[in-house]
Amino acid sequence: MRIFQKKIAVITGAGSGIGRALAIQLSKAGAHVAITDIYQEGLDETESICRGLGAKVLAKICNSASLDDMQSLVKAVIDEFDHVDIVINNAGIALGKKSLVDVSYEELEHIMGVNLWGVIYGSKEFLPYLLDRPEAALVNISSIFGLAGIAEQAPYCATKFAVRGLTESLRAELLDTNVEVYTVHPGGINTNIAEEALKDAQGDQERQKAVENFKKLLTHSPEKAALTILNGIKKKNYKILIGEEAYLFDFLPRLLPTNYSKVLEFGIGKLL
């Protein structure tokens, strides 16, 4: 997909971070956007910016982990725009650094709901409409933690590996169709995801310190991430890596399939 002008794009988690940056860049390119978030204030800000750029905007509070909410979103998008050309399943959360033994089932269900089921719902519910278009793109945001397993990040890695597997399987299914399927693996992007993890860690000094350390690795801007994603779509680069660390995480498990964890843990420790 080389031209975004007049395309209808759906972006979840667009109230801040990569989602907002994508909505803004697509609006600048002449697309119209349907944006969602669970926070009204951030969503309103993104809507205002995109409207100021001349885009038609549908803004809707939506919990990606809810099938009812996602089905309601699909109906609203089709009612408003009649069709959809691009779907970007971007909404996601993190738990911070925490061993699996210490993670509650409630936390596991929450992160699985947003990071995995949200992508499943967004892919499955919108796919029939994407298949009706002359050209369309489905973009699912994984992570560098969907390329390599990291200690004390098992729940997050589980969701992001699953997003990768889901998306790569969908790409194989849709090879002979008009739908382009993209997996995105961002490195350290400076978004609100760490702030949300900090909120969840309130009262737990060890977890708060771990999240603060993690924030030191967030060296890339959401704007850089959005531009890399959109350039990847234009070039039909179906596996989009963002940041030098993404290339490292992609390469090391293939070079050292049984020992890469030690190398990555040592490197992360040095950076912190």
Which residues are designated catalytic? 156
For residue 16, is it left (φ>0), alpha (ψ between -120 and 50) or beta?
Answer: beta
Q: How far is CA 246 from CA 27, 195, 241, 251, 254, in A?
A: 27, 22, 6, 9, 13
Sign for the pseudo-dihedral over CA of 106, 139, 187, 146: positive
Rounded Cα distance between 9 and 137, Å, is 9
Among 142, 90, 168, 144, residue whose Cα is nearest residue 268: 144
Identify the residue whose tokens are 């009612």.
79
Tokens at residue 213, please?
């350390």
SS (H, E, C) 134-148: CCEEEEEECCHHHCC
Q: Which among 235, 13, 252 has a CA at the least distance from the CA of 114? A: 13
What is the amino acid identity at position 36? T
Distance, first Cα to last Cα, the chain: 39
Residue 8 is inside which H or E element, if any?
strand 8-11
C-alpha distances in Å from residue 111, one per residue of 57, 70, 175: 28, 17, 30
Q: Give the separation between CA 216 and CA 243, rounded to whole angstroms.
A: 15
